[in-house]
Amino acid sequence: MSTRERLRIAVQKSGRLAEPSRDLLARCGLKFRQSRDKLFCFGESLAVDLLLVRDDDIPGLLASGVCDLGVVGRNVLTEDALGRDGATPFRTWRTLGFGGCRLSIALPQDVPWTGPRQLAGQRIATSYPHLLGDWLRREGVAATVVTLSGSVEIAPRLGTADAICDLVSSGATLAANQLQETAVLFESEAVLAGAATAPVDERGDLLQLLLRRLDGVLTVRESRLLMLQAPRSALSIIANLLPGCASPTVTSIEGSPDYVALHAVCNGNVSWQDLEAMRLAGARSMLVLPVEKLLA
């Protein structure tokens, strides 16, 4: 295995995952100087550099050790692994909570869908031949897989395929091409992946540091700090009404012996209904704040 002092992360250069990937790394405190060719970004705050690439190239960059980590859709990793007889050379470190999409079969809107069997003998265009082939085998359907590297959605109009198998996120691409989504083959989202074996040199420490920060960022994204005042007598009732929070901090309020101040980090949003229920139980001066950083 190669040794390097700096950790290298591959992210999509442009596309659905590009911006959220960069945002997430920025929130982990990574700052980059973008090089002139805009393919390599030197990390200024930590010894962590970025490589901006096509998402489909990320599995290869990980497998060859050119990059240590990649932010990529699970669909791309699984497609690559199936191409290697399913022996996955990757490890998924974290699921990132963005880039949700599904790999689906789509047909022209004027063709009625009766089920997978109708695909028998048809040509299906896709950039995911292994995931599609795997699904067809499981369904027991013999169809012709037409592998295309891009612009799959226009194949039916060009007459080069009868159906397509492509990623669907908002559905806008299908609608714009008069296609309807039918069967869903695979659900996907963005993950942080790396080679199956983690680097053991300086990069291993950087990886652990990054994972710790990432956990903080991923947790706080869903967290709110709730502050309120509660009658001492209603404390246990109100504590039970706290959404997604086990152990609030309770402190006394100077000059107000019957009331206590309570603050708690809640997992998930705190709704108006939650606040109203606590108010009915006697809570007052309620504040809900976003959490910026959290280090466990």
Is residue 149 at the binding interface for ligand PRP, with CB under 6 A as the rule? no
The interface region with ligand PRP, picked from 89-97, 171-179, 204-212, 227-235 by CB under 6 A, is 171-179
Q: Which residue, 87 or 172, is less far from ligand PRP as judged by CB? A: 172
Shortest distance in whole angstroms from residue 205 CB to Zn ion: 32
Which residues are CB-contacts of 202 (< 8 A; sequence separation ≥ 6)?
A: 5, 47
Residue 179: closest CA among 238, 111, 259: 111
SS (H, E, C) the chain: CCCCCCEEEEEECCCCCHHHHHHHHHHCCCCEEECCCCCEEEECCCCEEEEEECHHHHHHHHHCCCCCEEEEEHHHHHHHHHHCCCCCCEEEEEECCCCCEEEEEEEECCCCCCCHHHHCCCEEEECCHHHHHHHHHHHCCCCEEEECCCCHHHHHHHCCCCEEEEEECCCHHHHHCCEEEEEEEEEECEEEEEECCCCCCHHHHHHHHHHHHHHHHHHHHCEEEEEEEEEHHHHHHHHHHCCCCCCCEEEECCCCCCEEEEEEEEECCCCHHHHHHHHHCCCEEEEEEECCCCCC
On whether the CB atoms of residues 49 and 25 are closer than 8 A, the answer is no
Residue 3 near which of ligand PRP, Zn ion, none (CB within 5-8 Å, type-dependent): none
Q: Which of residues 105-124 bind ligand PRP (CB under 6 A)?
A: none
From the list 46, 56, 91, 111, which residue makes contact with Zn ion (rule: CB under 5 A)?
A: 56
Query: Considering CB under 5 A, how many residues would be counted as binding Zn ion?
Result: 2
Is residue 58 at the binding interface for ligand PRP, with CB under 6 A as the rule? no
From the list 128, 166, 190, 224, which residue makes contact with ligand PRP (rule: CB under 6 A)?
A: 166
Is residue 55 at the binding interface for Zn ion, with CB under 5 A as the rule? yes
The interface region with ligand PRP, picked from 109-117, 162-170, 193-201, 230-238 by CB under 6 A, is 162-170
From the list 8, 16, 22, 224, which residue makes contact with ligand PRP (rule: CB under 6 A)?
A: 16
Q: Which residue, 15 or 268, is less far from ligand PRP as judged by CB? A: 15
Residue 168 near which of ligand PRP, Zn ion, none (CB within 5-8 Å, type-dependent): ligand PRP
The interface region with ligand PRP, picked from 58-66, 154-162, 164-172, 249-257 by CB under 6 A, is 164-172
On whether the CB atoms of residues 46 and 71 are closer than 8 A, the answer is no
Using the structure block, give the residue that is written with the tokens 């996120």.
Answer: 169
Q: Which residue, 55 or 166, is less far from Zn ion as judged by CB? A: 55
Is residue 8 at the binding interface for ligand PRP, with CB under 6 A as the rule? no
Six token digits for residue 233: 């007598």
Q: Which of residues 262-291 bind ligand PRP (CB under 6 A)?
A: none
Is residue 207 at the binding interface for ligand PRP, with CB under 6 A as the rule? no
Is residue 171 at the binding interface for ligand PRP, with CB under 6 A as the rule? yes
Is residue 173 at the binding interface for ligand PRP, with CB under 6 A as the rule? yes
Is residue 79 at the binding interface for Zn ion, with CB under 5 A as the rule? no
Binding site for ligand PRP (CB under 6 A): 15-16, 55, 166-173
- Footprint of Zn ion (CB under 5 A): 55-56
